[in-house]
Structure 1
């Protein structure tokens, strides 16, 4: 877990100078010109034994307008609200402004962990300006001089306990409810698997297909993590769904997938994979959920080697979204394979929530373009200029390019596959959106 510390404040209060001081080298441009930092810069740092990601933002303005300055302001505010700790930097030599007061009010309303940093406090202090900062209601300020390397260690003596507190809170948050849905064809052993996992005969089971008619939710705890485990009715081909109650059960199961975090697709080792199994896997991908594929009744397989070859072919040719992930072999009746299944579920959940830095993504994009450029459309060269991740759950990316509508689907699939391999995204759907635009870091 990498903790994010953001530097925020008005233009020209010394945020970039402080950034360079902490990072230990000149990464951010500094000048007396206000607003020199237009986007944000981030750097992984180990400072005085503390590991974190340090982010330098553009200056906070009093008004957000439909201008470059306004967009810089909005971008900075988004970064600040997603950070773990905010270092609110003010100019200690000049005192507090209306903008400082408004921003302090914002931080308090958002309940963002904040340390007030009074920069430019070298030499004789402007005591009036320094003591004004108490009006912001953010506690004791830390007086520093980033330019002269004064007070930086004192600052991190304040940062350290906040990081420890954040770590403790995030460990607690890890124990939040994770919704795991088990799907599969009738009689694959879904209810038996749930009974095996929770250690009791919670679900009615039997040889008759279709015993489970409703999606049943069971609260369960695994290794300190709270789980909502959801059993669904077996999903048959739509053409074979005749009874009204079975149609309702199908709708109920599909709704459970939509609101899940991780979906376990349970196959029957004694039966060949059917088109319906592939349809279920595609459905999970369409909904953007993480998926783990497991094969039940593995104990009934006599020729294990041939079966392994079958699973390998299945993973590589028919279930492309899990080709980097092992198919879990288990026997629900005796619980063998359950631990590996749950470890795979939590691994998929972490990947589903994963974020990649913009810098790493654009390095990857340059390597991909060196290897394989998109095909020209009607004689026009398509330029892929810039990529960034806009969300997780599922991982979603935007690529800015010259002619987004002209990029063929085959090349989009190529990008998804390359991204999946490069950043280890097994078991999750990946979304790539193409937008017309330029690289925001190119010179104007």
Structure 2
């Protein structure tokens, strides 16, 4: 299955990037109920257009220092988009016309060789404003597409142009790749991601290659360990980009999105020296939002002065800061000494199995029936929640549908209670579980499954 394409929006302040982002994100596809988590900056959003799903990156959220001028802000956005996006939407403002900054950024984008969709926003009347739109042909990066993000006009034409640049969906990845467990090593800069990969490869290096379709300057490393093939997706190759150094953190978040999209398992690397930070939470949150299996590798553990409580104390801090992913496995390692790194393979195998696990409907409903007996479903103003039955509809992550008489009565805490019962029965360590609540009129419960 081809990976999701990444589309970035670039443009001057106040040309309507956020309005466009919100208009497109308004069409967001999500089969998942809202779950409480940490507040994370929403710099990306999955968007669907005519059956094609892509990830939209909002470079507008990447703010320069206040002393930066508009042009340097746009250049930084363009650099990030050029590095990470498959297609770039260059947004201009009809009311302001073509500016010097637009012309210089257009030049950068043209030289990058990336597909660019030139979009002119704030076109209130397509007839009246057509001559003004022609002015943007002077930028030399193709036909300008007129839109009004605020009025949702012309957006379909723009998206049609964007998806034209996507690869043919019938083209699949190498057959050999199908058995590989794809592992993204993610984390802040300088926590030791590359060192971990290099240590894991060790003498087992079989092929180090650029695999077609990989993100810019992330090298996919293929390796076989105990007859299992792995593809390690490294997001670390960023130090060469001196231009982007001051925006390293935001750039890392954008890069992380593209690596996570392609992975089965995400290893979130945290520095034991620095402790677990809000930035770690943002990066881990990307894996969580994408429903990936997660291992938290606490690196540089050899550098910490330890006593009998060190592991427990650090684990508590990780659980606290990453409270939205209590399912994640934690491993204390050292890339420097190789301490416990070989255990990472076993853990990757285990969480991958859990991420792909299917549970028979009959067995699931036995667990559900016991759960309903142990804790009665909630009621509201005399109306009682009836839970009819549950079935698993997907894997990666395991996704379950629970059929009830009234969705409004299915409180989040009761869904969480059922999740805990499912986890107690089947483990599912390292993987998030998704629960979808569907209404079913009439009592169509599985025999013997009441309430």
TM-score of the superposed pair, with normalisation by structure 1:
0.53
Tell me which moved more, 219-228 or 405-414. Answer: 405-414
Structure 1 residues 292-371: aligned runs within 5 Å: 292-314=295-317, 316-319=319-322, 323=326, 326-371=329-374
Equivalent residue number for residue 233 of structure 2: 230
Aligned residues of 2:359 and 2:392 also touching (Cα < 8 A):
yes
Task: Decide whether aligned partners of structure 1 residues 243 and 315 sit closer, same or farther in structure 2, where only a CA change above 3 A counts.
Answer: closer
Residue in structure 1 matching 2:383, options 380, 384, 388: 380
Partner SS for 1:305: coil
- Does the C-alpha gap of structure 1 residues 313 and 300 become closer, same or farther in structure 2, counting only changes over 3 Å? same
Aligned-partner SS, 2:366: helix
**Which residue in 2 is equivalent to 1:418?**
421
Range moving further from structure 2, 178-187 or 218-227: 218-227
Question: For the Cα contact (< 8 Å) 2:384–2:409, is it kept in 1?
Answer: no
- SS of equivalent to 1:199: helix
Residue 439 of structure 1 pairs with residue 425 of structure 2: no
Per the TM alignment, residue 318 of structure 1 is displaced from its structure 2 partner at its CA by: 4.3
Deviation track 1:234-269 (CA, whole Å, cap 9, x = no partner) reads 99xxxxx88578755532321110121000011111
Give the 3 Å change call, closer, same or farther, for CA 432–353 of structure 1 in structure 2: same
Structure with larger RCO (C-alpha < 8 A, sep 6+): 2
Equivalent position of 1:158 in the other structure: none
CA pair 441-373 structure 1, distance change in 2 beyond 3 A: closer
CA distance in 2, matches of 1:279, 1:413: 23
Query: Match for residue 178 of structure 1?
Result: 181
Partner of 2:131: none
Counterparts in 2 of 1:279-290, with a 5 A limit? 279-290=282-293
The aligned runs of 1:398-413 (5 Å cut-off) are 398-413=401-416
| Unmatched runs of 5 consecutive residues or more in structure 1 | 1-171, 203-211, 236-240
Structure 1 residues 396, 315: closer, same or farther in 2, change over 3 A?
Answer: same
Distance change in 2, residues 1:247/1:263 (3 Å): same
Following superposition, the deviation at residue 313 of structure 1 comes to 1.6
Q: Note the residue ranges of structure 2 that are not aligned, 5 or more in a row.
A: 1-174, 206-214, 239-243
Deviation at 1:325, TM superposition (A): 6.1
Give secondary structure in 2 for the equivalent of 1:432.
strand
Give the drift of 1:182: 0.5
Distance 1:215 1:417, change over 3 A: farther
Alpha-carbon separation, structure 2, partners of 1:441 and 1:253: 43
Q: For the residues of structure 1 that align with 2:177 and 2:317, how far apart are their CA atoms?
A: 33
Distance 2:201 2:391 in 1: 41
State the shift of 1:280 in Å. Answer: 2.4
CA distance 1:246–1:354, shift in 2 (3 Å): same
Closer, same or farther in 2 for the Cα pair 1:250/1:280, shift >3 Å? closer
Give 1:194's aligned residue: 197
Does structure 2 conserve the Cα–Cα contact (< 8 Å) formed by 1:219 and 1:229? yes
Find the counterpart in structure 1 of residue 143 from structure 2: none
Map 1:23-422 onto structure 2 (within 5 A).
Answer: 176-199=179-202, 214-233=217-236, 247=250, 249-314=252-317, 316-319=319-322, 323=326, 326-422=329-425
Alpha carbons of 1:188 and 1:248: their partners in 2 closer, same or farther (altered >3 Å)? closer
Q: For 2:237 and 2:312, how far apart are their aligned partners in 1?
A: 27
Deviation of 1:367 (Å): 1.2
Q: How many residues matched? A: 258
Distance 1:325 1:290, change over 3 A: closer
CA separation in 1, counterparts of 2:237 and 2:373? 47
Partner of 2:432: 429
TM-score scaled by structure 2?
0.52
Q: Which of the two has higher C-alpha Rg?
A: 1
Deviations 1:286-344 (A, max 9, x none): 10110111111111111242321223324654445765665211110122211111110
**Distance between the aligned counterparts of 1:341 and 1:312, measured in 2?**
17
Cα contact 2:217–2:237 (8 A) shared by 1? no
- What CA RMSD, in Å, does the superposition of the two structures yield over aligned residues? 3.1
Distance 1:404 1:351, change over 3 A: same
SS in 2 for 1:397: strand
Instruction: Please give the secondary structure, in 1, of the residue aligned with 2:336.
Output: coil
> Could you say what secondary structure the match of 1:327 adopts?
strand
Q: CA deviation at 1:425?
A: 1.0
User: Which SS does the other structure have where 1:336 is aligned?
Assistant: coil
